[in-house]
Amino acid sequence: PTEPWYIGGPVIKGFGRGSKVLGIPTANLSTKGHWSLLSEHPSGVYFGWAGLSTRGVYKMVMSIGWNPYFNNTEKTIEPWLLHEFNEDFYGEELRLVIVGYIRPEVNFPSLESLIGKIQEDRRIAERALDLPVYSKHKDDPYLISSL
C-alpha cells in the first residue's frame, strides 16, 4: 500500500442518471481545486474511507474519470458510500481518505456488464478495507475534522 491521499468538499449534484435506481448512488464531489491531485492519480476505481459531517465514517469505493460508458466530457469524482442511508445528503461536507486502487477505467459493452463490474469492485473494497493496513485509516482525523 502507498500513502493515502485526501479529497473533500460539499456533495454536489451529478448528472442524475439514476445510478441510485441501479442501487449504486455516487456522492459527487467538485473537481475544482483538485486538478493537481487528479493529474497525479490515473482515472480508475479506488477505495478508502468517507467521512460525512454529522453522520459518521463509512467504507467507500470510488470512480475517478470520464465514465466512458456515458460519454462524459468532464472528469468526475464519484464515491459510493457502502452504507444504507435513509435520505440524500446533498450539500453536506464529505471527506475522503483514498487508500487503494482497484483497476483502471475501461469501457463496457452493456449497462449490465458495467453494473456487474461495479458490484465486483464493491466486494473487493469491502474486503480490502477490513485488512489492518487499510482499516487503520478509518481513524484518520481528516475524516471528521469538519464535524
Q: Which residues are catalytic?
A: 78
Q: Which is nearer to ligand ADP, 24 or 128 (CB)?
A: 24
| Cβ count within 10 A of residue 37 | 15
Identify each DSSP E strand in the chain by its residue range.
5-10, 44-52, 56-65, 76-81, 93-104
Q: Which of 60, 114, 101 is nearest to 83 (CA)?
A: 60
Distance CA 120, CA 97 (A): 21
Report if residue 69 touches ligand ADP, rule: CB under 6 A.
no
Q: Which stretch binds Mg ion (CB under 5 A): 11-19, 38-46, 107-115, 121-129?
A: 11-19
Report if residue 16 touches ligand ADP, rule: CB under 6 A.
yes
Contact code string over 85-124 relative to ligand ADP, x by CB under 6 A: x--xxx----------------------------------
User: What residue ranges bind Mg ion (CB under 5 A)?
Assistant: 14, 26, 28
